[in-house]
Structure 1
Amino acid sequence: MAHFIKVAKKLHELNNLHSLFAVISALHSASIYRLTKTWACLSKKDKQQFDKLAELFGETDNWTALREYLKSISLPCIPYLGIFLTDLVYIDIAHPAGSPHRVTKMNIVLKALERYQSSEYEIAPLPHVANFLNSVRYIEELQKFVEDDQYKLSLKLEPPSPVGSCAGSKESVKETVLQGNVTTFNISPSHKLGSGSLRLQGTSHQGKFIPTHRKCRSLGSKFISPKSQP
């Protein structure tokens, strides 16, 4: 983890935001994010660096943080392409064919992309790195990364806490506070970027709450009262 945080930092210095987003997203994946004991081994500096980089890709207010950052940096830069694809899809939906604003707004997005394409990095190539990258069969390598297999490996490395234990991992409930008939608990948003936790508040009329256990409220069939039966 510390190694890839350093890789992410270097990508940030090079303004390679597209690859930076890939690294941050991978570290936020469920199989990695839940490794509480492993995260605890990171130095305070690495944790702060990771949180700072993750905040850059927050989706709040239509990626405001990342958009403002793109305006403040100089070329060369490889931007996160997801922003531009999102904008193009939005324009396509909001301004149908024949709209006077459709072409104008799409041209603004495409010109921004063209500006980044025209920038060039002045980095001396390393022959041994180039030879390695040319030897990798990318499609075959990608097929090895199956999400279910990665999660099973994660569970093997750090088994989940026993049922009833309050020392759950990051993907389980972090905090349970029972006050009267109100249950407040935190669920770590491993599927989203950001360092905060998603706090849910609800009213509990059930028995003792067991962390890491979810009770299904419905089996998908409609309940029929005996009185309403013919």
Structure 2
Amino acid sequence: MKHLRKLNNFNSYLSILSGLDSAPLRRLDWQRNTAEALEEYSSLIDSSSSFRAYRAALAEVEPPCIPYLGLILQDLTFVHLGNPDTVMTSQGSKVNFSKRWQQFNILDTLRSYQQVPYSLQPDDDITSFFNDFSDHLAEEALWELSLRLRPRNTPRANQR
């Protein structure tokens, strides 16, 4: 996650964080330093105050950048649903250019992050590690494994 943050790859950063914060994993015992690191990583993507910390970090990055797509889609949806397509004027119904301008600004910001390409070289070890995600576990299998590692009603070894 540190490397993803350095690369300004917020979308993958959040994907890993979401996976680690899933219920089957969250219930397991973590070493104190790991639990503290996860809390620190989570602070960047804290959803309170409309993702204030994330938006501040995003405003400071230099491209290239891969922003969190979910928040972009949320912002576009908010603008779309929260503003009418047309406004009534003395001349009748007109296009709501304010709404279109807000949508343009969101998409233009996204476009600006794509103006500079990443200069990364493929790494076969990393590629093979992900293995096309063919060995992923479904939610039910994750719960079974989690319960094998720490059965229900077993006290936590390390409290967060």
What TM-score, normalized to structure 2?
A: 0.82
For residue 158 of structure 1, the aligned residue among 127, 139, 150 is: 150
Which structure's relative contact order is higher, taking Cα pairs within 8 Å and 6+ residues apart?
2
Partners of 2:131 and 2:27 in 1: CA distance: 33
Matched, 1:71 2:59: yes
Matched, 1:84 2:76: no
1:168 to partner: Cα distance: 5.7
1:18 equivalent in structure 2: 11
2:141 equivalent in structure 1: 149
Partners of 1:119 and 1:90 in 2: CA distance: 28
Do the aligned residues in 2 keep the contact of 1:95 with 1:102 (CA within 8 Å)? yes
Please give the root-mean-square deviation of Cα atoms over the aligned residues, in Å. Answer: 2.6
Larger-Rg structure: 1
Which secondary structure state, in structure 2, belongs to the residue aligned with residue 151 of structure 1? helix
Q: Assess, with a 3 A threshold, how the Cα gap between structure 1 residues 134 and 157 changes in structure 2: closer, same or farther.
A: closer
Unpaired segments ≥5 residues, structure 1:
1-7, 175-194, 196-230
Partners of 2:65 and 2:53 in 1: CA distance: 16
Partners of 1:151 and 1:58 in 2: CA distance: 25
For residue 100 of structure 1, the aligned residue among 97, 101, 104 is: 97
What TM-score, normalized to structure 1?
A: 0.58
1:51 to partner: Cα distance: 1.6
2:44 equivalent in structure 1: 56
Partners of 1:128 and 1:149 in 2: CA distance: 26
Which secondary structure state, in structure 2, belongs to the residue aligned with residue 117 of structure 1? coil
Q: How does 1:163-174 map to 2 (within 5 A)?
A: 167=155
In the TM superposition, structure 1's runs of 4+ consecutive aligned residues that sit over 4 Å from their partners are: 127-130
Higher helix share: 2
Amino acid at match of 2:75: D
Partners of 1:27 and 1:127 in 2: CA distance: 24
**Identity, % of aligned pairs?**
26
Which secondary structure state, in structure 2, belongs to the residue aligned with residue 15 of structure 1? coil
2:92 equivalent in structure 1: none
Q: How does 1:186-225 map to 2 (within 5 A)?
A: none
How many residue pairs were aligned? Answer: 151
1:134 to partner: Cα distance: 9.8
Partners of 1:135 and 1:157 in 2: CA distance: 25
